[in-house]
Structure 1
Amino acid sequence: MKYVVIDDTAIEELVANRFLQSIEFEQGKTLLAVLRGEVRGATVSASIRITHLGDGVFLTGPTVSGTACYLVIDEEQSGLMNSLSPSDALYSFQKLLRFSKKFWQGLSLKFSEFLISGSSKAVLFPLRYKPTPFRIVIEREPFAERLEKRGHGGRWLLVYKAGHEGGDASREQAGLTNFRKAFESITALKEKLSDSGTADVSSNADRRTVDQVQVMQLETNTKFGTASLYRRYEDWLPLLTEQQRSFVVAPITKPTRIEGAAGTGKTLALILKGIHSLREAKLRKEACHIVFVTHSDSTKRTIEEVVSVIDGEGFVMADRRLALQSLKVCTLSELCADVLRQSISESEFIDRDAMESKELQLLYISEALERAMKEDFAGHSKFMTPEFASFLEKEQSWQIVAMLQHEISVIVKGRAAEDLDRYKKIPPLKYGLPIKSSADKGFVFTIFRFYHEYLSSAGQFDTDDVVLTTIGQLDTPIWRRRRTRDGYDAVLIDETHLFNINELQLFHYFTRIEGPYPIAYSVDRSQAVGDKGWSTEDIASNLLDSGDSAEQSEVVRTVFRSSPDIVNLAFAILASGATLFTNFDNPMEAAASGFTEAEERLCAEPIYYHAANEQALIEGAFERAEALQKDLGCRRSDILIVSLNSNIVTELTEYARNRNKPAILLTRRGDATAVGAAREASQWVLGHADFVGGLEFHGVIIVGVDGGRVPPTANDEDSSSKSFLSYVSHNRLYVAVSRARYRVELLGEKARGPSRLVAGAIDSGLLAQRDI
């Protein structure tokens, strides 16, 4: 096959059908195979005819009108469809179709689409940010005089060049051999379509109606964010990508990981996998009990609401003691409490919610640090390394406390089992505290002792105490004998990246069998806010026990939540982080948007707004929120105002209260209940980046993304602190950006200048700049 011809009728269907946007759908994969000449006689949509004539393939409607417009891809010259990876090839093809449609309709072009002045050429840059961009060169007037004489002027476009190399579009000439064949084949094409028969056309028209209803149903239901999750199991299965479906229907007989960027449907796939396994067990009349573990109470409530709609069999409501099949949704603390119910009372837990527990833990560590600096620092400092002593004296206390929390949880409690001698032998974290000597570790252990003392005096146990104690009670002959009766047939873990190493070592104890463990979990390391010491492989090794090497991994790449421009911006942010940190994942590397052309009409390029001062920054956030709400025609609750800086969140909250702006503040991560309350009360949603994971909005306004604040300025002498803050900031900005569906706007103080985290996005044209 040397060329492909697509008419405007086919283009309308190709850009509107969600299942043709990604190779993760069977229809999308088939479409790419047709474009590459790998298959003949395939069907990609009921309303598209695929006709093979000579060296070309034609994608058209059931009939071809005399005023049709045509896009010709000269594959022999350009190599467009075969020179890229399958995902990038289909994505570039879809971008090419959108450009063609806009060109014929006289619509405005995007920053990645150019008409070369003084020539008849156009250039399209379809792919996400890359150091060397991929370009498609289009001849807008092939056979100009001949087509004009026949009344076809302006109705044909020719793609004749594609690749990473540049060129002089104003001088180069497109080869027209294949274009001439395509043009001369139109008469034969019309005859062949006419000969196919009216009955077939009629049936195609009927099937098209069904196909369009299915697509529109998906678009309608995804209009209001989290509402898109509320479907029955039977309604979800036809809408899954191949990767999602493969993950869902596979039996849970060994460790399985599903990974992908934010908005790829990992949590949904995990829920459906549990329901599918229970349904299969019910058909076989076998017992099957599954536990679904979430990171926080707010996420648990959201999952319970979603499951209640998907689960038509009542599994989540079933009592395990009375039913053959059941699904338990709980936090890890609740799961531990079931085992420790005779050892630890409700009041002794520091907090059942993991996020709340860590916040309270920070307060205790802060008090312990303050006491240690006052009582013991002078005596210890003469033996400590100058770097660590300087770090403790000059760094801001909240930054030290955040790093201490990770050190105490993962190293002191987890790996060292609260033993000083063992702690001294363990190598320090790569992006942790700047610890160099045993004396440095001795002072950290002093802080830990004070922290432990505060917990004891309050009569409480932190999350790590509970987890480690649970491991102690489960790793016994008694539990090994009981687990076949009291354990679970499968353990599902959502957002595994938010659990620390101690917590991950616990999960495999809850399964009925010992290896291979029936554990399925979702992971996106780039959302692991501040947990910077380990990689995806570390998660697997600690979660599944070192002896289990049979893990199966499924990667989902199609992003359904965010627009292509937002996906590109998120990619650029993560790309800058990946160059700094060896274990910083960039799931956007192979990500592609699943947006249809109708959804893209609601989108606009991300913008960075410069505010004159701090007051203008806060006022501008609400002004932009009102403008976005009006522009998108959505509710206030569909707009998120978020910041990576706690002080700015406080200022936004006070401004809303003082000016009577209806707003609700998120206080828990992924609190969909709070967002629902905001929807009912017609309020804006405010929050810190740490609390917005798991949520989605039509538009997101990120406030204070400027120099000195993102990442926060650290003492020049303390490289470890700077690395920690930079790592956390990359995580948080990625999470905040990826909450947006259609629009993202960033605000910063003009005197500070944009944050260096978005410098690459600005330089590459992914982020426009304006003044408020």
Structure 2
Amino acid sequence: MTTNISALVVDRKAINILDRALVEDAWLEKFEVPQNSDGLRRVESNGIVYLLSEDADLDDGYLVINTAIFAPAAGLARPRTAFERVIRVALRHFDRSIAIPIQWQPYHAGSRLSIFAQPSRASLQRVYFDQSPEGTGNLFAFAVTSNPVDLDDVPEDDSLYQRAIDGICDAILADAPAAPPVGNFGVLLSEPQGVRLASAGTLSEWYENRLNREQRAFVDQPHDRPVRLRGAAGTGKTQSMVVKCLRDLYADADGKTTFAFLTHSSALAHTVVRGMLHALDPTERWTSLRCPYEQPRLWIGTIYELAQEKLGFEKKGLKPLSLDGREGREYQRMLIEQAIDQVVKDPRIVFDLFPGCPDFQKRLVNRGGDATLIDELMNEFACVLDLESIKKDTTEGNRYARGSSRELWQMVLPTEAHRRVVLEIHDIYRALLRTEQMLSMDQMIADLGRYIGTHEWGALRERDGFDLVFVDEYHYFTRAEAMLLHNLFKSRAQVSGRWPLLMAYDIKQGTNDVAISGGMERFRNPGVGESVLTELKQVYRSTPQITEFLRDLDASFPAMDLEGEYATYVAESQQEDGETPSLTIFDTDINLVDSVFEQATRIGRDIEGGGSQVAVLCLNEALFDKIRVAGRVREKFVPITTREDLKELRYAKQKCVFSMPEFVAGLQFHTVFLIHADSVDYDEDQGQGTRRRYVSRVYLGASRAARQILISSSKEHGGPSQLLAAPLANSTLRRVN
């Protein structure tokens, strides 16, 4: 670290600019920026660097960073990652609708806050913040430690903070600095990542010229009733929702109407939706709109982030178990594995229950060779037990165990003994959560549901509630989540009887059964009256060849009577012709992996946008975990397993993206490789629910592609899946050598 730079000061608007920058470790030595770069200018004075936006003002909020955090002496393996986390905390500080990821383990004590500095589980380094230095509304990142330390014991350099703040006025008034030497600055200031998903065009251009008839009808819907927007992948559901949200926000004359834009995915909320909003209005005026009582007029985030904000779990030492990304799913799997270990060794269960279900006992004991067992249990927990608050040794638990009627999509549990064993596994799983002081997503939602029924929420509802609620990815919302949406409205909605709840969904993109388990009635009547349906049928993302392939995949969904909501795929492409999707069969897994990643990196070098436009999506969860840590290809991809990983897309360059379909829902790519479409994972004799979830995973992955789909399978896993037989027969999929 250059010794004469002791602090970095960034104004509130410049924080947003730096949030989307590509930063190299070397940039953290001098913090130089190219001239005329996105309205950002650099002023250096008395050993302090000021990065200021064009509209920087003394009354703005400021982030002050003690640059010793990034010095070699601090020992950070990836200083730029720590810098990006500091910027994210600053965004959260000035915009309460932005959450700090659970994996960073935020810890509070008074005005102080600390987070992990690096993503590696081996690193325990933490960064420390003062959220009210000298009693102000600024944010001071003041220290880093190699191991967690009591927040009150970490020294804070108050004099450095004061010197940095005292120089702001002179920095704002200073003349523009001379252009620095031409060269590599170590920073690239870019547009928000979601901008490329929105296509070009301002809000007025989209409304006047780009929306088709169905999209325009949706955007013009009045705020007098619920509206549902149904459409296949690529028909522009999210784009239509964002256009309507921003147009209605700006059209509000009195400036008092508040909006919530809820999703089930942090990536969709904070990368895609915010990027689309930026594309529609690059001034980002929507970020500064406030109600008279200083609440933001537009709140964007997940239903879980809303629960965190209202209930303050992190301040109580509780950690939600995130299901938004691979880490949360992986941790849940570990807890279920531990629960099964206890069940198969419990003498009471072995002697009392297993004799009534020897087949299930065999599955549990030999679970290592049963790829679907944990998935089925996770689905049963989310869609039945946690959803209905069913617990062992309760009236509801006994009714569940003795009941013989089960839906076709549910886990096959033919006898009472089967269901009693599942209750035992679930009971131990819940106990393990309590031991770790963690909350499952369903427990968070249950607590939020209770809170919004309290007198406290009744008193705050007019201030903290919303006038309009947009819900994207409604097919991922459980019945419990859907049932609490109407209580998020201000009390005036109940008085007027007008509930403008706007829902966008495509049931076939759901890779679990939460949409089905909630019943179809909640789509037509989400608890606030009958909704108006708008259906989108024109595909704007994919070529006609990909659209035809998706139509054949759609025909493979098990026949299910879902009261008209499981509509046949009828979308028509509006794009130019492209290549027919292809299937390649490899002799070995190693050949498949080597060939696919070599081809993916080659394509990434040849197309606009580079590697971030090429995705390799694995259809088998166990193989995904195995490939993700394989040394032979690790340097060829950027793994996407959480919302935090999406930041890494900016650094893809010569690398491709490696993920699973559910982790990139809402994103799109020029080229998609679907790997391990193997016969061992799909069998016509499987249960209907297992088959439906697998088809949904393939459908979701294929629908991420705009121009090209390349599918591969391995003979080590039985060769190509039976699911591909119909597309091959209809020539919407071609086999290549």
CA distance in structure 2 between the partners assigned to 1:535 and 1:462 by the alignment:
18
Which runs of structure 2 are paired with 1:404-423 in the superposition (5 Å)?
404-418=377-391, 420-423=394-397
Q: Distance in 1 between matches of 2:532 and 2:665?
A: 26
User: Among residues 734, 747, 772, which one is paired with 2:699 in the alignment?
Assistant: 734
Aligned to 1:765: 731
More displaced 10-residue stretch of structure 1: 364-373 or 405-414: 405-414
- How far residue 434 of structure 1 moved from its aligned partner, in angstroms, is 1.9
Q: What is the alpha-carbon distance in structure 2 between the residues aligned to residue 670 and residue 587 of structure 1? A: 34
2:586 aligned partner, one-letter code: A
Are residue 226 (structure 1) and residue 226 (structure 2) matched?
A: no
* 1:293 paired to 2:276: no
Shift of 1:389: 4.4
Give 2:504's aligned residue: 522
Shift of 1:473: 1.9
Question: What per-residue deviation string (whole Å, max 9, x for no partner) do you get for residues 358-379 of structure 1?
Answer: 4432322221122112214313
Task: Map Cα deviations across residues 720-752 of structure 1 (whole Å, 9 max, x no partner).
Answer: 4xx343222101100111111111111112573
Q: 2:539 maps to what in 1?
A: 559
Contact 2:195/2:275 (CA < 8 Å) preserved in 1?
no
Matched-pair contact (CA < 8 Å) for 1:701–1:744: yes
**Cα pair 1:225 1:698 within 8 Å, conserved:** no
Q: Could you tell me whether the CA contact under 8 Å between 2:475 and 2:510 is conserved in 1?
A: yes
2:422 paired with 1:436: no
Residues 75-154 of structure 1 correspond to what in structure 2 (within 5 A)? none
Structure 1 residues 614, 485: CA separation in 2 closer, same or farther (over 3 Å shift)?
Answer: closer
Runs (5+) with no aligned partner, structure 1: 1-220
Kindly provide the amino acid, as one letter, of the partner of residue 664 in structure 1. V
C-alpha RMSD of matched pairs (Å): 3.2
Structure 1 residue 249: Cα displacement: 2.3
The structure-2 alpha-carbon separation of the partners of 1:536 and 1:317, relative to structure 1 and needing over 3 Å to count, comes to farther
Give the AA of the match of 1:384. Answer: G
Match of 1:152 in 2: none
Check the 8 A contact 1:493/1:520 in 2, yes or no: yes
Q: Conserved in 2, the CA contact under 8 Å of 1:577 and 1:727?
A: yes
> Which of 641, 646, 649 is residue 675 of structure 1 equivalent to?
649
Instruction: Tell me if the contact between 2:661 and 2:698 (Cα under 8 Å) persists in the aligned partners.
Output: yes
Q: Match for residue 105 of structure 1?
A: none
Deviations 1:479-517 (A, max 9, x none): 345423331001111111122222222212101123542
Distance 1:669 1:691, change over 3 A: farther
Q: Which residue of 1 is the match for residue 452 of structure 2?
A: 474
| 1:365 paired to 2:336 | yes
Instruction: Work out which of the residue numbers 565, 571, 582 in structure 2 matches 1:607.
Output: 582
1:590 aligns with 2:554: no
The letter for the 2-side match of 1:687 is S
For residues 684-742 of structure 1, the C-alpha deviation after alignment (integer angstroms, 9 at most, x for no partner) is 1111222121111111111111221x42x79x8xx54xx34322210110011111111
Residue 497 (1) aligns with residue 475 (2):
yes
Q: Please give the alpha-carbon distance, in whole angstroms, between the structure 2 residues aligned to 1:670 and 1:695.
A: 15
Distance 1:584 1:705, change over 3 A: farther
**Alpha carbons of structure 1 residues 672 and 397: separation in structure 2 relative to 1, 3 Å:** same
Q: Does 1:236 align with 2:202?
A: no
1:569 pairs with 2:535? no
TM-score scaled by structure 1?
0.63
Equivalents in 1 of 2:450, 2:255: separation in Å? 32
Q: How does 1:320-359 map to 2 (within 5 A)?
A: 320=291, 322=293, 326-341=297-312, 345=315, 347-351=317-321, 354-355=324-325, 356-359=327-330
Residue 676 of structure 1, CA deviation: 2.6
Q: Provide the residue aligned with 2:597 in structure 1.
A: 622
How does the TM-score come out when normalised to structure 2? 0.66
Q: In 2, distance between residues paired with 1:638 and 1:694?
A: 14
Residue type of the alignment partner of 1:562: S
Residue among 262, 266, 273 paired with 2:237: 266
CA distance in 2, matches of 1:325, 1:651: 43
| Contact 2:640–2:646 under 8 Å retained in 1 | no
Q: How many residues align?
A: 530
Partner of 2:638: 664
Is the partner of 2:297 in helix, strand or coil?
Answer: strand
Query: 1:692 is aligned with what amino acid?
Result: V
Counterpart residue identity of residue 552, structure 1: V
Contact 1:224 / 1:638 at 8 angstroms: preserved in 2? no
Residues 55-110 of structure 1: per-residue CA shift (max 9 Å, x gap) = xxxxxxxxxxxxxxxxxxxxxxxxxxxxxxxxxxxxxxxxxxxxxxxxxxxxxxxx
Out of 218, 243, 253, the position equivalent to 2:224 is 253
| Contact 1:698-1:743 at 8 Å conserved across structures | yes
Tell me the distance in 1 between the aligned counterparts of 2:251 and 2:713: 53
Instruction: Return closer, same or farther for 1:249/1:674 CA change in 2, 3 Å cut-off.
Output: farther
**Conserved in 2, the CA contact under 8 Å of 1:261 and 1:588?**
no
State the secondary structure of the residue aligned to 1:475.
coil
- SS of 1:617's equivalent? helix
User: Distance in 2 between the 1:645 and 1:583 partners?
Assistant: 31
Q: Which blocks of at least 5 consecutive residues in structure 2 are unaligned?
A: 1-190
**Structure 2: how far apart are the matches of 1:321 and 1:338?**
20
Q: Which amino acid aligns with 1:315?
A: W
Aligned equivalents of 2:644 and 2:664: distance in 1?
5
Conserved? CA contact 1:372–1:447, under 8 Å? yes
The match for 1:104 is none
Kindly provide the CA deviation profile for residues 636-678 of structure 1, in whole angstroms up to 9, marking residues without a partner as x.
Answer: 22111111013443454455x4357432011126965332332
The answer as to whether partners of 2:476 and 2:514 remain within 8 angstroms in 1 is no
CA contact (8 A) 2:617 2:672 kept: yes
CA distance in 2, matches of 1:584, 1:363: 38
Match of 1:755 among 721, 725, 732: 721
**Residues 691, 584 of structure 1: CA spacing in aligned structure 2 closer, same or farther, 3 A cutoff?**
farther
For the residue of structure 2 that corresponds to 1:589, the secondary structure is coil
The CA deviation at 1:334 is 1.9
Instruction: Give the match's secondary structure for 2:419.
Output: helix
Give the equivalent residue in structure 2 for 1:457.
435
Post-superposition shift, 1:401? 2.2
Q: Output the CA distance in 1 between the equivalents of 2:231 and 2:517.
A: 14
Match of 1:699 in 2: 671
User: 1:559 corresponds to which letter in structure 2?
Assistant: V
Q: Cα deviations across residues 433-488 of structure 1 (Å, max 9, x unaligned)?
A: 22234433322222122111111111122111111011112124553454233310
AA at the equivalent of 2:429: Y
Return the alpha-carbon distance in structure 2 between the equivalents of residues 670 and 724 of structure 1: 31
Q: Secondary structure at the match of 1:572?
A: helix
Mapped partners of 1:364, 1:536: distance in 2 = 25
Q: Secondary structure at the match of 1:428?
A: coil
Determine the C-alpha separation between the residues in 1 that align with 2:521 and 2:643.
21
Distance 1:346 1:249, change over 3 A: farther
Q: State the alpha-carbon separation in 1 of the partners of residues 586 and 561 from structure 2.
A: 31
Residues 148-163 of structure 1 aligned to structure 2 (within 5 Å): none
Q: 1:539 and 1:330 mapped to 2: Cα distance?
A: 25
- Going from structure 1 to structure 2, the CA distance change for 1:380 and 1:533 (only over 3 Å counts) comes to farther
Partner residue in 1 for 2:163: none
* Shift in alpha-carbon separation, 1:423–1:320, aligned structure 2, 3 A: farther
Report if aligned partners of 1:526, 1:584 keep a CA contact under 8 Å in 2: no
How far apart in 1 are the matches of 2:296 and 2:600? 46
> Using the alignment, how far apart are the partners of 2:295 and 2:349 within structure 1?
60
One-letter code aligned to 1:380: D
Identity of aligned residues (%): 22
One-letter identity of the residue aligned with 1:735: L
